[in-house]
Structure 1
């Protein structure tokens, strides 16, 4: 795990601090950690750490997958609900034994952050990071996939379910919204 932590810190900066318990003080089967930086200036990254010890199953190919979940926001946003969100999503993956794939929508479950209209998470490849960050190769074991989760609105979640994730990602390319800004407006009206 040390070489994996070195890999993460080489892309995300040093780990600042983390959480290993949920809101009820139960010990989690993985940690949530906050790194000093994100993919560009003024951002920070959070991730699960240890989720990849669980081999999850792809719902489409039925192959085993090891993955960690990442979430990026602006430094001035604060931790808010981010650790709890990553804890819930990670525990859901473990309980269901199912990996999150590109294009998956988690939710909507109502507002994730007070005063903001984001209600679901979208699972994607970490396109804001260098390509070398996407996969960590492990000798003698499955690679660890970095899965980027970013919050989306109810209308965006509905659009993806009705039109497919590839059409949603085409809209993202065309409109280029700031997916790190949790105050952003929906790209789907």
Structure 2
């Protein structure tokens, strides 16, 4: 795990602090950590750390996957619900023994943040980061995949379920919304 932390800090900056308990004081099977940097100026990154100790299963191929979850926000946003969101989603993966794949929609759960219309999460490759960040290779073991979660609206979640994740990602490329702005507008009209 030591080399993996070096890999993370090499891409995300030094770990600032973390959480190893949920809001009720229960110890989690993994941590949530906050890093000094994000993919571009003014952003920070959060991740699960230790989720990859459990091999999860792809619901499609049935292959085992080691995975950590990544979340990006503006530095001035504060921690708000982010640790709780990552805790909930990570525990859901462990409890179901299922990895999140590109294009998966988690939720909708209702508003994730105050004054925001974002209600669900979308699982993707971490395109805001260098390509070397996508997977951490481990000799003699499965690589650790970095899965980026970003918030989406109810209508966006519905669009993905009806039209597929590739059509949604085509819209993202076409419209280029700021996926780190949690007050952003819905891209589905």
TM-score with structure 2 setting the length: 1.00
Aligned to 2:97: 97
Aligned to 1:6: 6
Distance 1:96 1:110 in 2: 22
Aligned to 2:69: 69
Aligned to 2:82: 82
- Equivalent positions of 1:104-143 (< 5 A) are 104-143=104-143
Aligned to 1:174: 174
What whole-Å deviation, never above 9, does each CA across 1:126-176 have from its counterpart, x for those lacking one?
Answer: 000000000000011100000000000000000000000000000000000
Distance 1:54 1:23 in 2: 23
Distance 1:137 1:87 in 2: 24
- Confirm whether residue 55 of structure 1 aligns to residue 55 of structure 2: yes
Distance 1:168 1:92 in 2: 24
Distance 2:35 2:182 in 1: 18
The number of residue pairs the alignment matches comes to 189
The alpha carbon displacement at 1:177 in A equals 0.2
Aligned to 1:27: 27
Q: Secondary structure at the match of 2:76?
A: helix
Q: Which runs of no fewer than 5 residues in structure 1 stay unpaired?
A: none
What whole-Å deviation, never above 9, does each CA across 1:28-70 have from its counterpart, x for those lacking one?
Answer: 0000000000000000000000000010000000000000000
Distance 1:161 1:120 in 2: 12
Aligned to 2:145: 145
Distance 1:146 1:51 in 2: 11
Distance 2:33 2:158 in 1: 30
Distance 1:182 1:72 in 2: 10
The alpha carbon displacement at 1:77 in A equals 0.4
- Equivalent positions of 1:31-46 (< 5 A) are 31-46=31-46
Q: Which runs of no fewer than 5 residues in structure 2 stay unpaired?
A: none
The alpha carbon displacement at 1:115 in A equals 1.1
Q: Secondary structure at the match of 1:126?
A: coil
Q: Secondary structure at the match of 2:129?
A: coil
Distance 1:186 1:75 in 2: 22
